[in-house]
Amino acid sequence: MFNAVIITGPGFQDHDVVYTYYRLKEEGYAVDVATKAASPVKGKYGIPLPMDKTALPLISFDDLSIDKYDVVILTGGHEAPDRVRQDKKVLQFVNQMAEKGKIVAGLCHGPWIMISAKVLKGRTVCAYVGMVDDMINSGANVIDADVVTDGNIITCSYYGQVGKFMRAVFAATEKAHINGNKQPELIIS
């Protein structure tokens, strides 16, 4: 079984968190959802975290540990990632996950956190239209695609492609596990 953490904050894109959480659970992953100080938050359209009585309690950014997780999912909604990327603990965690070859996956505006964690330089990525300049300025090679897997870094340009995004996350996690976290090839979909 793999362990994943979804990192988010107030104003998250509801679709991103709900879909990724339940798809990870469906695939048998142990899933945590992290917010600053484990504080309850609401999404852009009013979905609360924690979502319901079946979801585990939230964890704090202070509890993030690279030894615990195989995958980190950085969800969108422009407000949440902008707030989250201001937290040094999150940035250190994301950077260390990337350095260890673990899967770092950003959806829609989620890659803002990846930019601030300095894990995109030299990587091939895709980007939400409003983030193209930010991604280029981070040193990434931005291409027009729905989902891009460059080694252990996965980007998705729009939440409408979250199904493809999650398939890429599962495939990359399996490959990283089989290959001992060696970086898999570039995959564009």
Give the active site residues: 108-109
Determine the Cα–Cα distance for residues 160 and 48; give it in Å rounded to an integer. 21
CB 162 within 8 A of CB 16: yes
Antiparallel, parallel or unpaired: β 141-142 and 59-60: unpaired
> Measuring CA to CA, which residue among 119, 61, 56, 52 is closest to residue 89?
61
**What single-letter DSSP state applies at residue 46?**
S
Beta bridge partners of 154: 105, 149
CA distances from 103 to 53, 129, 171 (A): 28, 23, 10
Contacts of 116 (CB under 8 A, 6+ apart): 85, 86, 91
Q: Contact at 8 Å (CB) between 123 and 151?
A: yes
